[in-house]
Amino acid sequence: MIKYDGSKAGLRRALLAVRAGLTSDDVTEAGAALARRALELPELAEAGTVAAYVSVGREPGTRALLEALRRRGVRVLLPVLLEDNDLDWAPYGGPDRLVRAGRGLLEPDGPRLGPDAVTSADAVLLPGLAVDGRGMRLGRGGGSYDRVLARLDRAGATPSRVVLLYDDEVIAEVPAEPHDGPVDAVVTPSGVRHFSR
C-alpha cells in the first residue's frame, strides 16, 4: 500500500520514489513482459495505427512493444513535445530513427504530422503513474496527455485508451478532477484489465 497525503502531487511523489528504486534489469524485464501482454490485446492486435510513446528512465518499458508493433506492419505514431507542452506526432521508423529531445525524451526524426494526427489512431498508449479500479489514470502532471485526450473527445475519435504500468501501480483510488476521464484498459507485466467507460 502506497502512503501519501491524498493529493495528486503526493501520490506522484510516492510512486516516483518507488520507481527510482527499480534497477535497469527490472525495467527491461517488465518491458518484455508488457510487450507480450499488450500484444494479446485485441485493441492492438487489430490496430492499423497506434499512437504510443518511447519510455525513458524508470518508466515501464515500451521499446520492445514499439518494435513488435512495427514488425507486424502497424503504423506507430510517436509524440513530439511542443513548446507549450502540447504534442505533435511523427511516424516511428525504428530505434535508430530516434533523436534526443528536451526533458530527456526520445522523439522520432521523421516528418511532423500535426497534433490532430492522433485522432487517426485505433489505439492510444498512454504513459502514467497509476490507475484505479474505475480506470482513472494518474499522469505525470504536465498536461500533455490531458490535451491529447481532450482532442480525441472533441474530434469524436474513439481509439482504445490503454495505460502501461507496473503491477503495483494499479491502486485502490486515484484522486480525480472533473476533467479526468477513464482509460479502457491497463496492461501490467502480469496481466491486462479492461474498464467500462
Q: What is the pLDDT of residues 49-66, one digit of tens each?
A: 999 999 999 999 999 999
One-letter identity of residue 172:
A
- Give the strand pairing for 185-188 and 160-164: parallel
pLDDT of residue 197: 64
Nearest CA-CA partner of 158 in 43, 54, 38: 43
The predicted model gives 162-180 an average pLDDT of: 91
**Given a cut of 80, is residue 1 above it in pLDDT?**
no
**Given a cut of 80, is residue 136 above it in pLDDT?**
yes
**Given a cut of 90, is residue 135 above it in pLDDT?**
yes
Nearest CA-CA partner of 81 in 58, 53, 44, 56: 53
All structural domains of the chain, each given as residue ranges with its CATH number in brackets, are 8-189 (3.40.50.10420)
**Helix %, strand %, coil % for the chain, to 5?**
35, 25, 40
**Given a cut of 90, is residue 22 above it in pLDDT?**
yes
Q: How many CB atoms lie within 10 A of CB 40?
A: 11
The predicted model gives 77-97 an average pLDDT of: 96
**Given a cut of 80, is residue 2 above it in pLDDT?**
no
Give the three-class secondary structure for 123.
Answer: strand
The predicted model gives 32-51 an average pLDDT of: 94
pLDDT of residue 31: 94
Q: Are 126 and 137 in contact (CB under 8 A)?
A: yes
pLDDT of residue 170: 96
pLDDT of residue 27: 94
As a whole-number percent, the residues of the chain with pLDDT over 70 amount to: 99
Give the mean pLDDT of the chain.
Answer: 93
- Give the strand pairing for 98-100 and 137-138: unpaired
Q: How many CB atoms lie within 10 A of CB 7?
A: 10
As a whole-number percent, the residues of the chain with pLDDT over 90 amount to: 87
pLDDT of residue 57: 92
**Given a cut of 90, is residue 45 above it in pLDDT?**
no
Nearest CA-CA partner of 44 in 190, 189, 188, 185: 185
Q: What is the pLDDT of residues 92-134, one digit of tens each?
A: 999 999 999 988 899 999 999 999 999 999 999 999 999 999 9
